Amino acid sequence: MSMTMLPRSASPADRSLLALMASVFAVFFVTGAALPALPLHIHDGLGFGPFMVGLATGAQFVASLLSRLWSGSISDRHGPKRAVSAGLVMAAFAGLFYLFSLLAVRTPALSIAILLAGRALLGGAESFIMTGAQSWCLTFAGPDNAGKMISWIGAAMFVALAIGSPLGSFLYEDWGFASIGLATFAGAMITLALVMPIPAVKPVLQGDKALARVLKAVWLPGIGMAFAGLAYGVMTAFAVPLFVQRDWEPAWLPFTAFAVALMVARVFFGALPDRLGGARAAMIFVVIQSAGIGLIWIARVAWLGFAGAAIAGFGYALVYPGFGMEAVLRAPAASSGLAMGVYTAFFDLSLGVLSPTLGLVAQATGLGGIFLITALLGLCSVPIAARLLSTTEHQPERKPS
């Protein structure tokens, strides 16, 4: 990490960047820890069926989507430190709600209601922490390193999910769901202690039409990410069922290959969007991503399917930071937090609307067919990136705010 991103002697700004990435790591670590434990607790412990499991799982992501603009506005108006701190406090309360829900296990309806409130709090926490941390890191690192910062924050997220999930299984099996609540609370509070010493960034006053200006600047890269982001949705939701259907073992390997390749790409090539330009990097890597998804569709042997998953992850790695860099550089300098909130909302909408639609399509075409559709939809972002690239030279140079 010190070789690719930070100078050899860590400055206060470097330490601040690491602490901010730790905050992103913390919220997704506890999210990952809850993923394997939550369905078992709701089904075995509370006696509810798949619908309630899906509702509890989705509550976090719905709350995250609904709070994107709010978190971006807080970050820009009051400074990213307030947004990150508020998110960590919300995550701590989410852990407490997990624990409170256990006090009502004899009344399952009440227990699940408290648990849903905790999930919603964790979704809001993710939005505030992610948006605030991105804005804060961009301020410390400067606009010339925007793509690299977005890449590394995303890498922290995926590492946290990858580590948190098996640890959550271990905690739940040995100590029950209470351990998940305690881990969520403790992780948030420890990270808050790391974040508090970081110097706050003085917010820049914005006009009343900040949201309108940000939407005008961000909508095009946002749509590009909405098309490309389906690759993440199809890999998380449909890769395992497809590999099970084709008798390819181990069925958990495709998403692991996707995630590992993504992290490798961000570690070794995370600075490419800053060197090539965000639009050019997005254009190149979305083609790689779609090739990988298409390879899964056409594969007839397991190793080719696993290779396709890895190629898709490698390509996806720099699509999000590429389009994200374009969103930040086109938005007003004082509205980087709001810009990242709006930009990420397009990705959330893609997963929330288009991914379920693919599930319906799968009933008619089969699971394999939706991988072909996803690959083709991903390529729809290529002309969008080309349009962004053609207008880049007309954009005014952004100065650090």
pLDDT tens digits, one per residue of 30-41 = 877 887 788 788
On whether both 270 and 182 belong to a single domain, the answer is no
Do 188 and 251 lie in one domain? The reply is no
The model's confidence at residue 114, banded by pLDDT at 50, 70 and 90, is very high
Residue 287, domain member (yes or no): yes
> Is a pLDDT exceeding 90 seen at residue 295?
yes
pLDDT tens sequence across 121-154: 988 898 898 888 877 777 766 666 666 677 777 7
Tell me if 203 is assigned to some domain: no
- pLDDT greater than 90 at residue 174: no
pLDDT band at 179 (very low <50, low <70, confident <90, very high): very high
Q: Are residues 223 and 170 in the same domain?
A: no
Same-domain check for residues 155 and 218: no
Longest CA pairwise span in the chain (Å): 64
Which of 129, 160, 195 terminates a domain? The answer is: 195
- Torsion angle of C-alpha atoms 22, 23, 29, 30, degrees rounded to 10: 150
Residues 36 and 135 in one domain: yes
pLDDT score recorded for residue 58: 67
Does residue 97 sit in the same domain as residue 61? yes
Judgement on whether residues 186 and 216 belong to the same structural domain of the protein = no
CA 12 – CA 392 distance, rounded (Å): 33
Shared-domain flag, residues 370 and 245: yes
Are residues 44 and 147 part of one domain?
yes
Global pTM value: 0.69
Round to whole Å and give the CA distance between 106 and 254.
39
Tokens in use for 295? 């390879």
Q: Are 122 and 94 in contact (CB under 8 A)?
A: yes
Same domain, 322 and 191: no
pLDDT of res. 302: 93
**Which tokens hold the place of 189?**
């509070």
- Mean pLDDT, residues 46-50: 78
**Is there a domain that residue 7 lies in?**
no
Range 93-110 average pLDDT: 93
Q: Is the confidence at residue 257, as pLDDT, over 50?
A: yes
319 in a structural domain? yes
Residues 40 and 183 in one domain: yes
Looking at the fold, whether 344 and 290 belong to one and the same domain comes out as: yes
Domain that holds residue 368: 210-392
Question: In this structure, is residue 49 part of a structural domain?
Answer: yes
The CATH number for 57's domain is 1.20.1250.20
Is 397 inside any structural domain? no
pLDDT for the residue numbered 309: 93
Contacts of 360 (CB under 8 A, 6+ apart): none
Structural domain includes residue 5: no
Tell me how many domains the chain contains.
2
Helix (H) or strand (E) holding 74: helix 68-78
Q: Which runs of consecutive H residues, i.e. helices, occur in 103-145?
A: 108-141
DSSP 205: P
Tell me, yes or no, whether 2 lies in a domain.
Answer: no
Listed residues 195, 229, 256: the one ending a domain: 195
| C-alpha to C-alpha distance for 126 and 31, rounded to whole angstroms | 9
